[in-house]
Amino acid sequence: MKNKLAFAGGLAIFYTLVVTSYQARAAGLYEPSLLAARRTAQSSDPWGGSNIPQLAQHEEIRPEFNSPSADQSPSDAGAPSLSGDCGSGGCSSCDAGGMIDPSTAAWGAAPIGFSGFGNCCGPWYAGVRGLIMNRDRGNNVWLSSSSANGNAQLLTTRDAAMGYSGGFETVIGRYLNQCWAVEAGYWGIFPSTEEANLLYSTATGPLVSRVNFGALSYNNGAGLNQDVGLWYANAQRHRLRMDYQFNNVEVNVLRNTFSWGNGMGGPCAQFQLLAGARYLNVSESLQYSSDYYNTTFGDDPASELDYNVDVDNHLVGFQLGGRYQHMLGCRFMAYAGTKAGIFGNRISHHQDITGRNQIAYLTASGVDDYVIDSSKNDVSFLGEIDLGLGYQISQCWRITGGYRAIGLSGIALATDQIPPFFSYYDAAAQINSSNSMIIHGAYAGIECNF
């Protein structure tokens, strides 16, 4: 439900931005056309008396970089237009800093997000960011208690929940002309293994597993063959380990719909649409272990048993979105973006119960090792919201920071794959993909135009 609300919120923001675009069109905020045009008139340059070429509408030409004429000084050639007001201080009070007039820039109004520069540096842009992100609280599956207090949830899957974790993002793109750009990007989050433990000495009584292993047995190869449930019930230590990983790759085409005013080498406000292909991998692993004889794992393989569950979601699909950027002054800017899409989800699932020497088996048959592998195809939904601030260091460099939230539905998690009865192997192989997740956190980085 949380993810559905996030997804709906993203679509609502996207709709608002589209409506704003058409309202701006109705008000004539971005006439003339964004297409590059032939220069047909001259006007006085308030920066030094020289003439700045003006653009006529509708006559498309091949983009080319502008260079100052012989009778222009570098400051004259770099003077920004004074039209528009970008907030506190306005465009007219900004230091030129070598900026060219964006109305005559070779690449016109630049795409935003990782881009949005003045573009006299070149048609390429790239950036790198550091990420620190977390996921919403996962399922709270009860794993262990003690015989002294069977109702006490002494170990649950939330005890090894993912914390804020680091990652990185990189993007590279190219302006094709005033109106179009294409960009490709990757980001990944790499959490460390989370661990939680329950000891016999702190549980005020023998440990008890709340997972119903009763139909399975395990032979440790050293003379002890008993029900898996007894390996956990009489253990000295229960250990839970959880692993998470996220990888994202996308390629998008961007289309400027309107821009108005002139800031530091670019428009005061700008809105664009995007469409593209995206791949997102969400992986989750669970290991619930028992040490029968002592509290040190790894020293006596004959006394240890692990229940392992691994799930991989591979989302592939098409997305639509929008981005809006607004200058807050000469160098500061705020931006917002949203993306949404429907994705095919290829899910792979594995689980087993193994010790260091043997594999658990079905008690009734005496054979049939408990090793489950299965996969399925499903449909998932993704919605993303991105809010941030930027500071233009120079014409071709800027720093950014912000907040991002990604909502997913129709995904499989390891905590959902624990079967109620382990005796039915076919039922254990059925993948539950009805869960949802929100990945969210902060980012900061640097971008350049070249």
Q: What is the tens place of the pLDDT at every residue in 283-294?
A: 999 999 999 888
Which one, of 354, 348, 355, 370, lies nearest residue 421 by Cα?
370
Residues 6+ apart with CB under 8 A from 365: none
Task: Give per-residue burial for 46-74: e unless 16+ CB within 10 Å, then b.
Answer: ebeebebeebeeeeeeebeeeeeeeebee
What number is the average pLDDT over the span 185-211?
Answer: 92
- Residue 266's pLDDT band (cuts 50, 70, 90): low
DSSP, collapsed to helix, strand or coil, labels residue 24 as: helix
- CATH number belonging to domain 2-449: 2.40.128.90
Q: In what order do the strands lie in the sheet with 225-227?
A: 225-227, 216-219, 361-362
Percent of the chain with pLDDT over 90: 53
Neighbour tally for 163: CB within 10 Å: 11
Using only C-alpha atoms, the chain has a radius of gyration, in whole angstroms, of 29
Tokens of 52: 């700045």
- 415: helix, strand or coil: helix
In this prediction, residue 80 carries a pLDDT of: 34
- Which of 60-74, 192-206, 271-285 is the least confident region? 60-74
Average pLDDT score, the chain? 78
Q: What's the angle, vertex CA 281, arms to CA 343 and CA 404, rounded to 5?
A: 85
Q: Say whether pLDDT at 200 is over 70.
A: yes
449 and 122 Cβ atoms separated by less than 8 Å: yes
Structure tokens at 227: 């029900």
Question: 446 by DSSP, 3-state: which?
Answer: strand
Check residue 221 and give its pLDDT. 81
pLDDT at position 217, please?
Answer: 93
Burial of 373 (0-12, 13-18, 19+ CB in 10 A): exposed
Segment 299-313 shows an average pLDDT of 93
> Residue 151: CB partners within 8 Å, gap ≥ 6?
145
**Pairwise CA distance, residues 357 & 351, whole Å:** 17
Strands (E) across 117-203 are located at 124-135, 142-146, 155-156, 165-175, 180-189, 194-199
Contacts of 65 (CB under 8 A, 6+ apart): 106, 120, 122
pTM over 0.85: no
Q: Per residue in 343-389, pLDDT tens?
A: 999 999 999 999 877 899 998 888 789 999 999 999 999 999 999 99
* pLDDT one-digit tens code per residue, 149-170: 878 899 999 999 999 999 999 9
Q: Which residues, at least 6 apart from 179, have a Cβ–Cβ distance to it below 8 Å? A: 34, 35, 108, 109, 255, 256
Q: How many CB atoms lie within 10 A of CB 13?
A: 20
Each residue of 221-242: pLDDT tens digit? 877 888 999 999 989 999 999 9
CA end-to-end span of the chain: 44
- 28 pLDDT exceeds 60? no
Supply the pLDDT for residue 120.
Answer: 54
* DSSP, res 369: B
pLDDT over 50 at 58, yes or no: no
Mean pLDDT in residue range 409-421: 95
pLDDT at 362: 92
- Predicted confidence band of residue 186 (pLDDT cuts 50, 70, 90): very high
Q: Do the beta carbons of residue 115 and residue 266 sit within 8 Å?
A: no
pLDDT at 45 over 70: no
C-alpha separations of 344 from 172, 185, 315 in Å = 26, 20, 6
State the pLDDT at residue 15: 45
71-130 pLDDT, tens digit per residue, is: 443 333 333 333 334 333 333 334 433 333 333 333 333 444 444 444 457 889 999 999
Q: What pLDDT, on the 0 to 100 scale, is given for residue 96?
A: 36
Q: How confident is the model at residue 20 (pLDDT cuts 50, 70, 90)?
A: very low
Neighbours of 349 (CB within 10 A): 23
What pLDDT does 301 receive?
Answer: 84
Are 346 and 17 in contact by the 8 Å Cβ rule? The answer is no
> CA nearest 295: which of 231, 234, 240, 236?
236
Of 342, 285, 346, nearest in space to 314 by CA: 346
